[in-house]
Amino acid sequence: MQRKLSARQMRMIALGGTIGVGLFMGSGSTIKWTGPSVLISYAIAGLFLYMIMRALGEMLYVDPDTGSFAKFASEYIHPIFGYLTAWSNIFQFIIVGMSEMIAIGGYMEFWWPGLPAWIPGLIAITFLCIANLISVKMFGELEFWFSLIKVVTIVLMIIAGLGVIFFGLGNHGHAIGLANLWQNGGFFTGGFKGFVFSLAIVLASYQGIELIGVTAGEAENPRETLVKAIHSTVARILIFYIGAIFVIVTIYPWNKLSQIGSPFVQTFAKVGITAAASIVNFVVITAALSGSNSGIYSASRMGYTLANQGQLPRKFLLLNRHGVPFYTVIFTSIGILLGVVLNALLPLIYPAAINIFVMVYSSSVLPGMVPWFVILISQMRFRKEHQAIMAEHPFKMPLSPISNWLTLAFLVMTLIFMFINPETRISIIIGVIFLALMSLIYWRKYHGKKPPEID
């Protein structure tokens, strides 16, 4: 592998991994549970995600390697956790990639009504697969520009929204003010129960933030790059999420958001940008491309890590002349493409298939949280095994191990409420089944066996 990811690319990769299509399409799923207090949900979740990133950063500073958190799980907890972490990451990003490619087909209908949804998906996944095979630098450059488009759009939306709220821009000079934050049922609309339910959906929207750990093995000047990226990423994500959602719930009554379509489109249109719908549709397509691009990269590197442990065939270790793991990129792309094909064919055979796909997609939530658990636990054991290094370590996790246990408790509490909530229970059950199945495969095939020596 080649260290060709620059600091600017890594910052945008971490940002792009967590700013997805959901935010642009209205964030209604988070707001409906608790109303405007969803702002606090994003702030609390962001604080705990910062702790996870610092725990990861502490270990990466010493050992910046490809597939880092799966490797740390194997070394500091047990090899089965490295196996589960790698497969959870692969499963999560292939499922997310499928949904993004299918979504692109729907977005393209905005300009070309009647266009079969599988055609844009096929073109997009072919393009992303080729780009990822060319070099890691090409992946990083694509992700930089995809993420920059998303970030610029959010910043412009926040600026335009603040103009509407405080100066009446696009509203005949009548400032909307802040009253929508406490009207229409109050700030905590859903009470404590609704607030806690919203945390599950908020946490799901942050999934992918740990992608920076996968990139560590291919970063230029990894120590300096990682420190800068981790310091800046969580703060920026909080600003973008909280800033955008503050504008949305302040301009529009939260209980009418489902009736207005995309708040981004409506806000840009309100200040006189007549091409708002086309602009936001373009941005959402780049967001979907970004999600799949990150997915191919992350899942392929985790496949490489599994092959390095002897848990996938050795051919998955093959690098092409650009230093890219060829077979893992190809097979990840085929996995995503399979979702596009099934989405086109299954409804013809079984009309209720769309509901099955939604359940499978939601099942990625629990596997997507597995890396967070193993990062927090690995870091505590990492400290015990590297006490001499820790004495001079310049990038320690704050308040560890207290911060570890508090973050773990927060994640467990969120999972419990996801199981209590009928709308998210199925995602937990399917996620548990996936993890149980992968654990069974590990114990039957790999338990007690040493990984083969790699030439």
What is the rounded distance in angstroms from the CA atom of residue 44 to the CA atom of residue 30? Answer: 14
Q: What pLDDT is recorded for position 359?
A: 59
Report the candidate in 148, 163, 147, 184 with the shortest Cα–Cα distance to residue 247.
Answer: 163
Q: In 350-449, which ranges are continuous DSSP H helix?
A: 353-362, 365-385, 387-391, 402-420, 422-445
pLDDT bin (cut points 50, 70, 90) of residue 351 is: low
Q: What pLDDT is recorded for position 439?
A: 93
| Residue 338: domain span | 7-445
User: What 3-state DSSP class applies to 319?
Assistant: strand
Q: What pLDDT is recorded for position 333?
A: 93
Q: Residues in the chain, how many?
A: 455
Q: What pLDDT is recorded for position 161?
A: 87
Q: Poorest-confidence range of 154-168, 170-184, 230-244, 290-304?
A: 230-244
Q: What pLDDT is recorded for position 361?
A: 63
- State the residue for tokens 């009504």: 113
For residues 394-422, give the mean pLDDT: 91
What is the rounded distance in angstroms from the CA atom of residue 203 to the CA atom of residue 48? Answer: 10
Q: What pLDDT is recorded for position 227?
A: 78
The residue type of 98 is M
Tell me if 108 sits within 8 A of 289, measured CB to CB: no
- Is the model more confident about 359 or about 389? 389
Is the peptide bond between 64 and the residue preceding it cis, with omega within 30 degrees of 0? no
167-176, 270-279, 403-412, 442-451: range with highest mean pLDDT:
403-412
For residues 83-107, give the mean pLDDT: 85
Tell me if 378 sits within 8 A of 73, measured CB to CB: yes
**Whether the predicted pLDDT of 2 surpasses 90:** no
Residues 34-93 have pLDDT tens digits of: 888 888 988 898 889 889 988 988 888 888 765 577 888 888 999 899 899 989 988 888
Local structure of residue 5 (DSSP, 8 states)? B
What is the rounded distance in angstroms from the CA atom of residue 351 to the CA atom of residue 197? Answer: 31
- Which two structure tokens, joined as six digits, stand for 365? 């939530």
Torsion of CA 383, 385, 389, 392, to 10 degrees: 30
Residues in Cβ contact with 141 at an 8 Å cutoff, skipping those fewer than 6 apart: 9
Bridge partners of 137? Answer: none
19 φ, ψ (degrees, to nearest 5): -100, 100
- State the residue for tokens 């596009």: 340
Q: What pLDDT is recorded for position 373?
A: 95
Within-domain flag for 373: yes
Tell me if 324 sits within 8 A of 133, measured CB to CB: yes
Within-domain flag for 323: yes
Q: What pLDDT is recorded for position 26?
A: 47
Q: Poorest-confidence range of 120-124, 155-159, 190-194?
A: 190-194
132-141, 204-213, 403-412: range with highest mean pLDDT:
403-412
In percent, the amount of the chain with pLDDT more than 70 equals: 85
* Dihedral sign, Cα of residue 282, residue 285, residue 290, residue 296: negative
Within-domain flag for 132: yes
Within-domain flag for 142: yes
pLDDT bin (cut points 50, 70, 90) of residue 28 is: low
Within-domain flag for 324: yes
DSSP string, 324-348: -BHHHHHHHHHHHHHHHHHHHHHHH
- Is the model more confident about 85 or about 200? 85
What is the rounded distance in angstroms from the CA atom of residue 205 to the CA atom of residue 26? Answer: 13
- Is the model more confident about 139 or about 65? 139
175 φψ region: left (φ > 0), alpha (ψ -120 to 50), beta (else): beta
Within-domain flag for 286: yes
Instruction: Burial-class residue 160 by CB neighbours within 10 Å (0-12, 13-18, 19+).
Output: buried
Using alpha carbons only, give the angle 57, 61, 63 rounded to the nearest 5 degrees. Answer: 110
**Whether the predicted pLDDT of 452 surpasses 70:** no
Query: Which value, in Å, is the radius of gyration of the alpha carbons in the chain?
Result: 22
Instruction: Burial-class residue 275 by CB neighbours within 10 Å (0-12, 13-18, 19+).
Output: exposed
Question: What count of other Cβ atoms lies within 10 Å of the Cβ of residue 81?
Answer: 24
Please give the biggest Cα pair distance in the chain: 72
What is the rounded distance in angstroms from the CA atom of residue 144 to the CA atom of residue 74? Answer: 31
Tell me if 361 sits within 8 A of 101, measured CB to CB: no
Give me the chain's average pLDDT, please: 82
Single pTM value for the model:
0.84
Local structure of residue 275 (DSSP, 8 states)? T
Within-domain flag for 454: no
Tell me if 358 sits within 8 A of 346, measured CB to CB: no
What is the rounded distance in angstroms from the CA atom of residue 453 to the CA atom of residue 71? Answer: 16
- State the residue for tokens 């450059």: 141
User: What 3-state DSSP class applies to 219?
Assistant: strand
Residues 369-385 have pLDDT tens digits of: 999 999 999 999 999 98
Q: Poorest-confidence range of 234-248, 329-343, 358-372?
A: 358-372
Q: What pLDDT is recorded for position 213?
A: 65
What is the rounded distance in angstroms from the CA atom of residue 384 to the CA atom of residue 379? Answer: 9
Q: What pLDDT is recorded for position 64?
A: 75
Bridge partners of 325? Answer: 319
Q: What pLDDT is recorded for position 455?
A: 41
Residues 409-420 have pLDDT tens digits of: 999 998 998 888
Q: Poorest-confidence range of 257-261, 423-427, 443-447?
A: 257-261
Residues 146-184 have pLDDT tens digits of: 888 888 888 888 888 898 899 888 777 888 888 888 887
- Is the model more confident about 136 or about 42? 42
Q: What CATH number is associated with residue 308? A: 1.20.1740.10
Within-domain flag for 396: yes
Tell me if 294 sits within 8 A of 208, measured CB to CB: yes
Number of domains in the chain: 1
**Whether the predicted pLDDT of 202 surpasses 70:** yes
